[in-house]
A and B are shown apart, each in its own frame.
Chain A
């Protein structure tokens, strides 16, 4: 099942195009904004220790629930206000962004590696092995992921490593499906036969022929997964299963802070805005990259 080639970021297809390097001027204004935002977020996350004004875990029981700048009872220096333990929300957003980035990236990459490899193997080896793998894929799809996450966290405890494992397990089945589908398609093609006859190893076939064709849908899936993982993490925190306090991720700040939405909304709104920006950048850039990859493909 293919997704159409058009999206917000690229001009409409006017027929064949010549391939050009993706440079700044090639992108429309939305993509430029996304690039900028993405850059700011990454730099902020990387430079967290220098950018954040306070220690994100430093509590101050006497300065709980202070509003952000411009409101009554604002505490000097705490731009986004303080949370339920008096911690600086601005600093927590920065460090939270950092951890969210790390977790989502790790999770998405792991999912990609697991799923991609399994899909490749399933497509090439086939037979019972393939049926079992696809059975697992269906199993994963059939059980609500929240539950799977819950069970893994329950069995293995809620440390950061387990969180990464859980997030890594999220979405692998999508990659497996994509890659396997592609493999099955290509395996029929004559040039693969020819390559095999010429003595090319399966690995070489995989890299030279299969990989370029799966890059596009995988990139899209990756960006989709990345954003989904951020939201998933928030949902797990809502259920009390996220990262252990006092550690903050954007998702956990939103999940745990929801009780304060009527009384101290900044606790949720600040990290939610950052999630929005992050998701926006990831989605736009993902679409754009996919577009570029598609173009590359078409021009070969």
Chain B
């Protein structure tokens, strides 16, 4: 077990290092920030001035070394655009994103598990099909379309919900719905499959014979067996949701989150923000994954022993 944990940690370290290096070089190779924000309509001399001012004139090796040392000393520099510490900027944005993510996960679990169970029990009737169609739509329609449609219906036409920012609880409703599409589809489907598995097992017959009510058996056995895998599925999905689906939703709802920040920094080549931001997201995702992996290994003896 200990070896497994250590190996995981080693893998985490390698991953982080790879990420940091790849992002660094990719951004440096793709153009100078001066050409993206500050550069239009200035003379060559002035462009050189700005480049020197932002420390972009030293060789790529020097810059890389400087960057690595700053990472280890905990100082991540100032944003090119905003001239304040990148840690401040990124953390400011991380919190709203986290809130939205949590909201999406809670919503998904509350909605998808019952839906999945329903779809499994009523799989031959229309109810089952309807549930799966809804789940499918959540997956097949891009999240920004869901988002804009929600805005047009619930805010523009009905004026029921606010559209901008994360001020009140009401503000969370539409963004959560928009961002949860794929997650709901995945978890509903997963739950349904897990339930179907359970329903066909022999111990169901035994339990029924014992006189236990159907739903007790379903919940007790089905959910228990499925929960471990559910954990890792949810964990993975959260990871990919962490900033991928969120950038478009953040744009639509003017949600001050990290997805939008990362994309904007990438587009405008604001290296310090991009590097720190990616690092933060990566650390978060890796930690989640590692925790899930370890929990999974702990729970499933086969894996624990195999990897031991």
Contact = CB atoms under 8 A, between A and B. Distances in A.
A adjacent to B, CB under 8 Å: yes
Interface of A: 1-8, 12-13, 131-132, 134-136, 138-139, 141-147, 150-152, 154-155, 184, 188, 227, 231, 234-235, 238-240, 251, 254-255, 258, 261-262, 268, 272, 275-276, 279-280, 283
26 contacts: A1-B232, A2-B229, A3-B193, A4-B194, A8-B129, A131-B10, A131-B14, A135-B14, A138-B286, A139-B15, A139-B282, A144-B259, A144-B262, A146-B243, A150-B263, A155-B29, A235-B142, A235-B248, A238-B248, A258-B145, A258-B148, A275-B141, A276-B137, A276-B141, A279-B139, A279-B140
Nearest to A241: B267
Contact of B11 (A138, A146, A231, A262): A138
B144 A139 contact: no
Given A155-B29, A235-B144, A4 B193 contact: yes
A229 to B, nearest CB: 12
Contacts of B254: none
Contacts of B253: none
Interface in B1-50: 7, 10-12, 14-15, 18-19, 22-23, 26-27, 29-31
B117 interface: no
A13 B19 CA distance: 45
Given A146-B247, A147-B262, A261 B136 contact: no
Contacts of A279: 136, 139-140
Contacts of A145: 240, 244
B63 interface: no
A132 B243 contact: no
A134 B26 contact: no
A150 B141 contact: no
Nearest to A132: B14
B145 to A, nearest CB: 6
A167 B133 CA distance: 27
A266 B242 CA distance: 31
A1 B193 contact: no
Contacts of A251: 142
Given A4-B190, A135-B11, A280-B140, 7 more contacts: A3-B190, A6-B193, A146-B263, A238-B248, A254-B145, A261-B149, A268-B145
A278 to B, nearest CB: 8
B194 A144 contact: no
Nearest to A8: B132
A265 to B, nearest CB: 9
Contact of A7 (B10, B139, B193): B193
A222 B10 CA distance: 30
B140 A141 contact: no
Contacts of B266: 147, 150-151, 154
A154 B192 CA distance: 41
A132 B26 CA distance: 19
Given A135-B15, A261-B152, A231 B142 contact: yes
A48 to B, nearest CB: 22
A132 B142 CA distance: 34
Which of B148, B196, B244 gathers most chain A CB within 10 Å? B244
A58 B289 CA distance: 49
B140 A276 contact: yes
Which of B142, B145, B243, B248 gathers most chain A CB within 10 Å? B142
Contacts of A184: 306
B240 A144 contact: yes
Given A143-B19, A154-B26, A227 B139 contact: yes
Contacts of A152: 26
Interface string B129-159: 1001000110111111100110010001000
B243 A147 contact: yes
A205 B144 CA distance: 46
B233 to A, nearest CB: 7
A3 B236 CA distance: 14
